[in-house]
């Protein structure tokens, strides 16, 4: 019986591996490469213990704990520093990798009818699910080993074999846990979008829950899988307990996914799908209406996510104040810019993260046009009295509006919770203005997408690399002490760090003009080219 259910699992695993022969190595390479260069950079930039201790001092505050998790700041070796500053963020990206890879070969394949074909062959009912779980498990283990041995091979004094392997295992373990989470949601939800959406929601909640509990009550953060990552304390106390927990949870989730898969029909889920409207509402009956309807759920989810992100950053401002209150030494060291409070100095970095996070849904909204094209659905609209300008205009309007809303919500979130927890309150105008200064930079990013869709549709996704670049140079730029021009290559690098720096009109104006120019060029291209389908 069991043998029949699992027949040909091995074959299918090799098949999936063949399908992903480029995708998986790319993820592995990217993650390992960025993990391994970090300690090298730290060793070069913060060579002496004194420099590292100075760094540790700036890190010793609730805002940083919320962002990157707790770390061993008393013995801030290169190893401890790497774990503290990089491990959690990398783990979140590994979680994302698992979600995308597992959805691809569970619900996405099922939704497109490919699993039906596989089931008609002499393969077991649970084979395809387990084949994809085997592949992702293999990927996670490979990642753990590559990073573990890779970090050890650097030969940095504070990075011993045990700690390095634990560091890798924490990442691999996170991959496994989120593979399990995704596998379960792939059974519950009837479509791939829902699977990815709910799994990412779990990832975000795990991150935010850990952010809040790490600051307020560290024991509670044992409830978040991402909390386990920092609890390994790699390179300091080397605690393997969380890894065991990850493996156990993964095992339970895999069993649950198998059980749910076994008791349900193909192409069905457990979350109910009720009959819909038999008439289109008035709002749906235009290209703009259609485009917004298609993205409605995603927009709402992102809106909530960004508000919560802003609010959770704001929620630590109170702790931040009391933490520095009456601690003269810290105050002297950190308050380098006269006339600004400690909170004011943290705001710019938080806003960069928030504005880049808000750019993601805005770009998704414009790139959706290309997604619709690839699915052959534009043809049906353009076959009616809809012009290309109208069509692209609808998606552009949603993208711009989307970005504006996301940016506003993250700012409102930051202000509202910050204002509640801080004794003398927080100026709404200052927070909102400083955040909105990034809007022109976001418009440039949208403009780039418009140009790509207009002229090089196959390269549309390359804009994400630019987003990633912007994040790396601006968020980590200070850490790695990049030259100024490296940051200026990103539109976000031209925005003043309000409230510490004054926002001037000129750069915002130039960026806006640039964005509009890019958009016009993109529209011309889109009006000239063949639509694929």
Separation between Cα atoms, residue 221 and residue 66, nearest integer Å:
11
3-state secondary structure 297-321: HHHHHHHHHHHHHHHHHHCCHHHHH
Q: Which is nearer to other proteins, 378 or 452 (CB)?
A: 378
377 touches other proteins by CB under 8 A: yes
Helices and strands (DSSP H and E) totals, the chain? 26, 0
Q: Is 155 near other proteins (CB under 8 A)?
A: no
Q: How far is the CB of 483 from other proteins (least distance, A)?
A: 42
Judged by CB under 8 A, the stretch of 3-11, 117-125, 441-449, 524-532 that binds other proteins is 524-532
106 binds other proteins (CB under 8 A): no
Interacting residue with other proteins among 38, 78, 350, 381 (CB under 8 A)? 381
**Is the sign of the CA dihedral 23, 26, 32, 35 positive or negative?**
negative
Comparison of 251 and 283: residue with beta carbon closer to other proteins: 283
Other CB atoms within 10 Å distance of the CB of residue 324? 18
Cβ atoms of residues 180 and 98 within 8 Å: no
- Closer residue to other proteins (CB): 278 or 336: 278
Binding test (CB under 8 A) with other proteins, winner from 74, 327, 387, 481: 387
Please state the closest distance from residue 185 (CB atom) to other proteins, in A.
17
**Measured distance CA(182)–CA(91) in Å, rounded:** 16
- The answer to the question of residue 501 lying near other proteins (CB under 8 A) is no
Please write down the long-range contacts of 63-67, taking CB distance under 8 Å and 24 or more positions apart.
Answer: 63/313, 63/316, 63/317, 63/320, 63/346, 63/350, 65/214, 65/215, 65/316, 66/211, 66/212, 66/214, 66/215, 66/312, 66/313, 66/316, 67/211, 67/313, 67/353
Residues 234-273 that bind other proteins (CB under 8 A): 273
Which candidate, 412, 411, 408, 428, places its Cα nearest to that of 362?
Answer: 408
Q: Is 364 in the site for other proteins (CB under 8 A)?
A: no
CB 440, min distance to other proteins, A: 32
Q: Considering beta carbons, is residue 21 or 375 the nearer one to other proteins? A: 375
Dihedral through CA 387, CA 392, CA 398, CA 404, nearest 10? -130
Give the total of residues touching other proteins (CB under 8 A).
38
**Cβ-based nearer residue to other proteins, 155 or 383:** 383
Q: Which is nearer to other proteins, 58 or 380 (CB)?
A: 380
Q: State the nearest-atom distance from the C-beta of 392 to other proteins, in Å.
A: 13
Residues 183-222 that bind other proteins (CB under 8 A): 190-191, 193
Quote the least distance from Cβ 382 to other proteins, whole Å.
Answer: 5
User: Closest separation between CB of residue 254 and other proteins, Å?
Assistant: 27
Task: Output the smallest distance, CB 109 to other proteins, in A.
Answer: 15
Q: Distance between alpha carbon 109 and the CA centroid of its chain, in Å?
A: 23
Indicate which single residue of 376, 425, 478, 517 sits in contact with other proteins (rule: CB under 8 A): 376
The pattern of x and - marking residues 278 through 317 that bind other proteins according to CB under 8 A reads xxxx--xxxx--x--xx-----------------------
Q: Write the binding mask 471 to 500 for other proteins: x where contact by CB under 8 A, - elsewhere.
A: ------------------------------
CB nearer to other proteins: give 3 or 277.
Answer: 277
Q: How far is the CB of 278 from other proteins (least distance, A)?
A: 4
Is there a contact between 404 and 472 (Cβ–Cβ < 8 Å)? no
CA-closest candidate to residue 414, choices 357, 350, 355, 358: 350
Nearer to other proteins, 246 or 290 (CB): 290
Phi-psi region of 329 (alpha: psi -120 to 50; beta: other; left: phi over 0): alpha
What DSSP assignment string belongs to 475-528? Answer: HSHHHHT--HHHHHTSGGGGS--TTTSPP-HHHHHHHHHHHHHHHHHHHHHHHH
Stretch that binds other proteins, among 69-77, 226-234, 277-285, 488-496 (CB under 8 A): 277-285
As measured in angstroms, the least distance from the Cβ of 456 to other proteins is: 15
Return the residue of 48, 219, 336, 385 that touches other proteins, per CB under 8 A.
Answer: 385
Report residue 196 as tokens. 């990815």
209 within 8 A of 224, measured Cβ to Cβ: yes
Residues 6+ apart with CB under 8 A from 196: 99, 100, 103, 182
Q: Which of 8, 125, 368, 529 binds other proteins (CB under 8 A)?
A: 529
Q: Which residues sit at the interface with other proteins, rule CB under 8 A?
A: 111, 190-191, 193, 273, 275-281, 284-287, 290, 293-294, 375-387, 390, 528-531, 533
């Amino acid at each position: 019986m069991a043998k029949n259910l699992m027949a040909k699992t091995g074959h299918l695993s090799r098949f999936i591996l063949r399908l992903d022969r480029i995708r998986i190595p790319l993820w592995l390479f990217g993650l390992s490469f960025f993990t391994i260069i970090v300690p090298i950079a730290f060793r070069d930039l913060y060579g002496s213990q004194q420099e590292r201790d100075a760094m540790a001092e700036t890190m010793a505050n609730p805002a940083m704990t919320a962002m990157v998790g707790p770390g061993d700041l008393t013995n801030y070796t290169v190893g401890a520093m790497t774990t503290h500053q990089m491990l959690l963020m990398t783990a979140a990206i590994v979680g994302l990798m698992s979600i995308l890879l597992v959805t691809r070969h569970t619900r996405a394949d099922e939704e497109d009818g490919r699993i039906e074909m596989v089931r008609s062959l002499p393969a077991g009912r649970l084979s395809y699910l387990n084949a994809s779980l085997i592949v992702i498990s293999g990927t996670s283990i490979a990642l753990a080993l590559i990073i573990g041995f890779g970090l050890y091979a650097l030969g940095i004094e504070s990075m011993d074999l045990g700690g390095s392997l634990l560091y890798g295992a924490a990442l691999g373990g996170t991959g496994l846990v989120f593979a399990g989470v995704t596998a379960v949601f792939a059974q519950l939800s009837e479509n791939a979008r829902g699977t990815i959406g709910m799994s990412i929601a779990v990832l975000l909640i795990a991150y935010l829950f850990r952010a809040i509990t790490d600051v307020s009550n560290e024991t509670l953060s044992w409830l978040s899988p991402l909390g386990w990552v920092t609890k390994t304390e790699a390179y300091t106390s080397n605690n393997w307990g969380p890894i065991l927990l990850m493996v156990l949870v993964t095992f339970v989730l895999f069993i649950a996914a198998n059980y749910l898969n076994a008791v349900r029909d193909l192409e069905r889920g457990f979350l109910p799908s009720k009959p819909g409207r038999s008439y289109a509402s008035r709002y749906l009956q235009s290209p703009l209406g259609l485009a917004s309807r298609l993205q409605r759920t995603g927009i709402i989810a992102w809106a909530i996510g960004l508000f919560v992100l802003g609010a959770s950053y704001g929620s630590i401002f109170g702790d931040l104040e009391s933490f520095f209150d009456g601690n003269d030494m810290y105050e002297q060291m950190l308050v380098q810019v006269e006339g600004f409070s400690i909170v004011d100095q943290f705001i710019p970095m938080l806003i960069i993260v928030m504005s880049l996070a808000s750019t993601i849904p805005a770009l998704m909204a414009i790139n959706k046009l290309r997604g619709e094209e690839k699915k052959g659905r534009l043809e049906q609209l353009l076959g009616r009295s809809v012009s290309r300008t109208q069509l692209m205009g609808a998606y552009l309007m949603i993208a711009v509006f989307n970005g504006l809303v996301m940016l506003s919500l993250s700012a409102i979130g930051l202000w509202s919770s910050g204002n509640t927890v801080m004794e003398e309150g927080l100026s709404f105008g200052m927070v909102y203005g400083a955040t909105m200064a990034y809007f022109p930079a976001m418009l440039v990013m949208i403009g780039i997408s418009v140009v790509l869709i207009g002229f090089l549709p196959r390269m549309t996704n390359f804009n994400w690399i630019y987003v990633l670049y912007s994040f790396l140079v601006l968020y980590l730029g200070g850490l790695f002490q990049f030259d100024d021009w490296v940051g200026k290559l990103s539109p976000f690098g031209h925005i003043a760090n309000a409230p510490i720096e004054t926002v001037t009109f000129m750069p915002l104006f130039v960026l806006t003009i640039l964005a509009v120019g890019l958009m016009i060029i993109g529209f011309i291209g889109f009006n000239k080219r063949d639509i694929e389908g």
